[in-house]
Amino acid sequence: MNDVLPSLISLGGWIGAAELLVAYFLVSKGTIAGDSLKYQALNITGSVLLTINCASSGAWPSVIANAFYLLVGINILFTVKRAYIAQLSRRQKEELRARMHLHRRPSPVVSTGFVEQA
């Protein structure tokens, strides 16, 4: 049973490294945007797995680098979420204004009975 945990940590490290490389490749090719949720999810999960792997082997400089990478990914994730919520709020306000405008009754027209002739 003691051999299972180190093997899982090693496998997690390889998966984390693959996630970071795939994320970098997809952004470099323009397949996904650098501020997309897919990119941030790949970065965050890859960083977590690599941080665990590096910590278990005592590679402390890599632990610090991956922890920093993780914090940047989380920060960008929250920034993207705030921007999405703000955009959603603006869209809902615009839709509400449009509905209010459609349901507005026309102003009554008062006729004086006078027609101007040219």
Amino acid at 31: T
Contact 49, 15 (CB under 8 A): yes
Give residue 114's pLDDT band: very low, low, confident or very high (50, 70, 90).
Answer: low
Task: Indicate the pTM of the whole model.
Answer: 0.71
The C-alpha atoms of residue 23 and residue 52 are separated, in whole angstroms, by: 19
Which residues lie closer than 8 Å to 45 by C-beta, 6 or more apart? 16, 19
What are the extents of the domains in the chain?
Answer: 4-77
- Per-residue pLDDT band for 85 (boundaries 50, 70, 90) equals very high
Q: How far is CA 16 from CA 9, 10, 90, 91, in A?
A: 10, 10, 37, 37
Task: Give the model's pLDDT for residue 9.
Answer: 96
Higher-pLDDT residue of 104 and 10 is 10
Question: What pLDDT does 108 receive?
Answer: 66
